[in-house]
Amino acid sequence: MAESKGTIVNPTATATSTVYSTTDDIVRNLSLVRDEIAATAAKIDEQQVASLARHISLTGRIFVAGAGRSGLVLRMAAMRLMHLGLNVHVAGDTTTPAIASGDLLLVASGSGTTSGVVKAAETAAKAGARIAAFTTNPDSPLAGLADAVVVIPAAQKTDHGTSVSRQYAGSLFEQVLFVATEAIFQSLWDNDAQPAEELWLRHANLE
């Protein structure tokens, strides 16, 4: 950072790089994001989602693994599944045990080629665990390893300038991934007798 008369100045900032938004910008882009999410979610094969949900409901332990923003979405999904009383672990956490036969690995990668996620799926497969995957690419290595695949027809993060989405990088995939995992949670809960008050008892009290 450069200094000028006691003021810290960002050397990369220029007058032409000023970014601001008007109310019209916000309204337009709220509509853009909302409409893209709705249109993409409507194109998901409901049978694929139902199949993945059955894998979740039939498993003993569930492990989730994802990178970047997709990984954050799966962490949120793990929290909701925990609220249902399921045994859920996040890959990479210090207390996460070894995956084994009978377990389920839930993964997400827009491209289906994210190295760490594919490696996790390969490890799970070797251990005899089942794999459920979200991806945009049904022909990807990740999809090939999975027992259940949900294809989200969104742009991959490297598809710059694509007509699939006007949003940056993999935003649409991550947004619809969140919607899909919330729909799965809601469906599992709909078929569960537990009231919301019982789920709340499992909510973290150490924060």
Which CATH number belongs to the domain containing residue 52 in this structure? 3.40.50.10490
Asked if the structure places residue 159 within a domain, the reply is yes
Q: How many domains does the chain have?
A: 1
| Token digits of residue 108 | 């997400």
Asked if the structure places residue 9 within a domain, the reply is no
pLDDT of residue 14: 54
Asked if the structure places residue 155 within a domain, the reply is yes
Report the predicted TM-score, pTM, of the whole model to 2 decimal places.
Answer: 0.85
Asked if the structure places residue 44 within a domain, the reply is yes
pLDDT of residue 163 exceeding 50: yes
Mean pLDDT of 167-192: 93
Q: pLDDT category, 193, cuts 50, 70, 90?
A: confident
For 2, 25, 160, the CA distances from 136, given in Å and listed in that order, are 44, 29, 15
Mean pLDDT of 192-199: 90
Non-local (6+) Cβ contacts of 152 within 8 A are 40, 44, 110, 134, 135, 136, 173, 176, 177, 180
Range of the domain at 152: 19-200
Token pair 């742009």 is found at 155
Mean pLDDT of 126-153: 97
Which of the residues 174, 197, 198, 207 is marked catalytic?
A: 174
Q: Which residue has the higher pLDDT, 9 or 69?
A: 69
pLDDT of residue 5 exceeding 80: no
pLDDT of residue 108 exceeding 70: yes
Q: Indicate the helix (H) or strand (E) that contains 8.
A: strand 7-9
pLDDT of residue 164 exceeding 70: yes
pLDDT of residue 4: 46
Asked if the structure places residue 6 within a domain, the reply is no
pLDDT of residue 17: 59
Q: pLDDT category, 203, cuts 50, 70, 90?
A: very high
Asked if the structure places residue 122 within a domain, the reply is yes
Asked if the structure places residue 146 within a domain, the reply is yes
Q: pLDDT category, 3, cuts 50, 70, 90?
A: very low
Q: Is 3 labeled as catalytic in the residue annotation?
A: no
Least confident of 31-45, 97-111, 152-166: 152-166
pLDDT of residue 11: 55
Asked if the structure places residue 53 within a domain, the reply is yes
Non-local (6+) Cβ contacts of 177 within 8 A are 70, 73, 74, 108, 134, 152
